[in-house]
Amino acid sequence: MPYKYITEVRGYELDSFGHVNNAVYLNYNEQARWNILKESGFLEAFLKSGMFLVVVETNIRYMRELKMFDSIEVITSLKHEAPYLIFYQEIFNKTTNVKASKAKTKTLLINSERVTQDLPPELISIIK
Amino acid sequence: MPYKYITEVRGYELDSFGHVNNAVYLNYNEQARWNILKESGFLEAFLKSGMFLVVVETNIRYMRELKMFDSIEVITSLKHEAPYLIFYQEIFNKTTNVKASKAKTKTLLINSERVTQDLPPELISIIK
Amino acid sequence: MPYKYITEVRGYELDSFGHVNNAVYLNYNEQARWNILKESGFLEAFLKSGMFLVVVETNIRYMRELKMFDSIEVITSLKHEAPYLIFYQEIFNKTTNVKASKAKTKTLLINSERVTQDLPPELISIIK
Amino acid sequence: MPYKYITEVRGYELDSFGHVNNAVYLNYNEQARWNILKESGFLEAFLKSGMFLVVVETNIRYMRELKMFDSIEVITSLKHEAPYLIFYQEIFNKTTNVKASKAKTKTLLINSERVTQDLPPELISIIK
């Protein structure tokens, strides 16, 4: 079942073309990932132990512009391809009813010494 | 011949892991593209006419961390695959002497009405 | 009656000290101002006519740190001291129940030629 | 003798009005402060010990717009008013030859437990 994160485009996120800058789409996707970690109870454990998910690759297709006050929903599905945890993320613009972007982000769990860790079994179990 | 843009990692570009946030790599790459437009003389014409290069897809591999005050060089090659102008961009960390990222960014030239334009022949001619 | 804008601290807004970077407080305050313009019906008119509120001075006292997922409320009061429209803004951390910052931001309404405009009487009337 | 930090406005730092967003001026000033710490040899010691300068108040007057590729110089003077270290910072636009902003930023040195520290005598000695 995909995770959903809802937010709204802020005025300072627009660039000189009056639309959301391409790098900001990655910010939205990142925040959606933080939310999944929080909701699934892993965030606190990760922060305490110094472990974190590092992004090793992102592929993003920009399909539509986003404008100030657009209400957006980041829809995320996860997949485990050891050692990677992969996030498939679509940004859906609820104001205009169109898909704004589609991204695949490959992450690795590493510890505070930057050594790759196996994903905790409990984290794998939340991935369908 | 590839274009080179040199800059330095700023302190506020680090995130809570003490390294440059993944979205900021896209900022560096974008600024390198602006530099190419400026140096090749297209920036002023584009800004006047309301035309601009819109990013339709980005693929980026993150290879190494970047830290505060790291001196970085964005090395860019261009390719024309009509209607796309494609930027191949590597960020090289001159402080640590390692490649930090490798990206491919597909762009389209559009006008102020968001209609795709042919690339000006003079712009194509600068692409080897 | 003060205006209220509620949002949540995002992970990428933290800097290397693990708290929200000082410049981001200004982003939150700016977004609260955009919300007031939108809710009071001035945003569309301003965007159409090319008029906008330009910040001429900000004074901000940082009282407490903000951390990831903190729920924050920006409480804004307005004052008209011709030609200025002044925003008094406090960021209240609802997660920790403390005030995080207190700011005064002086703005001017200017048109697309950067000429100062009188505030529309309807805008003044919403200021108590 | 004031410290000088030179940089250039980047395209993605512009907001929808085509000029540098007001919060970004704080980024420039922050980076100038990091440079002073680095050049004066305190940065490494601070990072190792977990000490850092936390901003407790900023007052900034925005005098002129900054545009893409403007070459800017942040001119910083320091003052010690125990327990505060105060930075007076002006952003000078070398492209247009006008002053763009004038700011006063009050900081405190704190340790990793967020306890205020006396400034090291060597740091005070660099302040004239």
User: Which residues, including other chains, have CB under 8 Å from residue B68's CB and lie 6 or more apart?
Assistant: B9, B10, B11, B14, C16, D34
Residue pairs spanning A and D at CB distance below 8 A: 24
- Judged against a pLDDT cut of 80, whether residue A98 lies above it is answered with yes
Q: Which of A36-45, A59-68, D118-127 has the lowest mean pLDDT?
A: D118-127
Q: Are B11 and C12 in contact (CB < 8 Å)?
A: no
Alpha-carbon separation of residue A55 from A68, A127, B40, D72 (angstroms): 28, 18, 33, 33
Residues of D in contact with B30 (CB under 8 A): 10-12
Please, which chains are in contact with A (at least 3 CB pairs closer than 8 A)?
B, C, D
CA–CA gap between residue A100 and residue A102 (Å, rounded): 7
D78 in Cβ contact with D59 (< 8 Å): no
Contact of D31 with chain B, judged by CB distance below 8 Å, is answered with yes
> What percent of chain B clears pLDDT 70, i.e. is strictly above it?
99
Q: What is the dihedral of CA C96, C97, C101, C103, to 10 degrees?
A: 150
The ranges assigned to domains in chain C are 3-125
A67 and D CB contact within 8 Å: no
Q: Is the pLDDT of residue C128 over 70?
A: no
Residue from C8, C15, C39, C44 carrying the catalytic annotation = C15
Residues of C in Cβ contact (< 8 Å) with D55: 22, 62
What is the rounded (10 degree) CA torsion for A58, A60, A66, A69?
Answer: -30
* C24 contact B CB<8A: no
Looking at residue C49, its pLDDT comes to: 87
B9-62 pLDDT, tens digit each? 999 999 999 999 999 999 999 999 999 999 988 898 888 888 999 999 999 999
Mean pLDDT of chain D: 94
% of chain A surpassing 90 pLDDT: 79
Answer yes or no: do B59 and A54 touch at CB < 8 A. Answer: no
Q: Give the sheet arrangement for strand A52-62, strand by strand.
A: A3-8, A71-81, A84-93, A98-110, A52-62, B52-62, B98-110, B84-93, B71-81, B3-8
Least confident of A75-89, B81-95, C43-57: C43-57
Percent of chain B residues topping a pLDDT of 90 = 79
Looking at residue A75, its pLDDT comes to 98
Predicted confidence band of residue D122 (pLDDT cuts 50, 70, 90)? confident
Statement: C3-125 belongs to CATH 3.10.129.10: yes
pLDDT tens, position by position, C20-75: 999 999 999 999 999 999 998 889 888 888 899 999 999 999 999 999 999 999 99
pLDDT score at A46: 87
Pairwise CB contact (< 8 Å): A58 & B58: yes
Residue C7 — pLDDT band, cuts 50, 70, 90?
very high
| Cis previous bond, A2, omega within 30 | no
Distance (Å, whole) CA A54 – CA A108: 5
D25 exposed, middle or buried (CB, 10 Å; 0-12, 13-18, 19+)? buried
Chain C contact present for B121, CB below 8 A? no
Better-scored residue on pLDDT, A40 or D104: D104
On the question of pLDDT at B77 being above 70, the answer is yes
How big is the A-C interface in CB pairs under 8 Å?
A: 26
pLDDT tens digits for range C80-97: 999 999 999 999 999 999
Over range B112-118, report the average pLDDT: 90
ipTM computed for the complex: 0.95
- Assessment of whether the complete model's pTM goes beyond 0.90: yes
The first and second tokens of residue C78, run together, are 């307005």
Instruction: Provide the pLDDT confidence category of residue C111 given band limits of 50, 70 and 90.
Output: very high
